[in-house]
Chains A and B, each alone.
Chain A
């Protein structure tokens, strides 16, 4: 059974067909990459599924339930989380606080006005564990605004991961970091996602990363799905070569 399905999902911004009648599926446990040139509709599709924007028409079903009109909060409760292309963190809070906030929210504890956050040992322990998994433990007490871009990217994913999602969207998890840092970041993310059997959708422009870490690749072009298949099939697809890689791509 598919974890997520969209049916004729559509979003127009004026005359621009950002997402045009897209039928998209993700299987349970899959690590899927979404590729396409700039403006192809990748981020718009993720924004629609995660609830940042609402579709003009079409349907989104998650674990068999129609979530098309649900708000962000309901989608998170259902098990959808995301990281962002431009990192979204709580810059004036520590790394530990950033992750702990996700856990507090996940457990419905942020509604508590008269209990000390510091007394919730289980939350802080879990936050430390998550930072350790992401290799950020040594900077637990550093403010999120004071770490490197690569670390910020990892923390952004860690904050989403702390929600214990079933489906995790990773919007360009290595954008803005040096070439040398990209593989280690993806190694960390990939190992955690696969170990926890989280279904993940990765949006990326770096094709080496895409082909190395994906089970399946979905190619978008001008708001539509151009192709979908295993990495090798996509690599050899003539339409994809023309639309995404360009004629000179080997």
Chain B
């Protein structure tokens, strides 16, 4: 199984409530995925900076003096804010590769959750309500966000095996289903120079989309080609800095329901996840078609209906 939720705001007056609404949706999906939970939230941007969300099993040790040590290693100024096992580091935008290398040196047990100008990812093993409370997800604000509750099938129940997965700047992916050609594709993508951290099938799906976009595809084109190149079952929800997209495999046995009002576009594995959203009674509610790419973006004029990317 697994549960997916997502919320894209058209009405930015709801931005301070994004975390609250997503947390409610996430917890409702607990019985689809009690193993681990995660959320990707697209929040504030600092001009010219990249945010690294990092995680440590020993946050007290690893996060003490981390910003200073990383700043010293890079010769730049770094800020950090700590939430439980995660910390968000802000570094100059051109320092990502250097920072990744430096972190491996100065704090070898730290794991990189995400990087991007607005993206932050928080994920841990445990029930969604406990994970949400640890990170105070309900207090977070942003323009759009994606959440996932995992019932593990393809790899171990660990923090690194939790969704969402981030494999490129401001990109993230959550997945309900299982990919059957992930091992061969992982080898191919690694040969192409894409960083893949785990043995998880979904991370390969995320890395595949990143690789396609590195080679000039739009997100819409990358999602379209995933229908040919990925074997298995999937309902994907993909986040970018500008918005989010949805695609389901041609069999479409993994559930999906969407709702749209003037204020938001929402995604849930089940309608239950959407029932507390404002104005849901009047929302247009529908099931996304198989083999069809949907995308909503903040950079286009607001859409009143779904559109293929």
Report whether chain A binds chain B. Answer: no
Binding site for B on A (CB under 8 A): none
Binding site for A on B (CB under 8 A): none
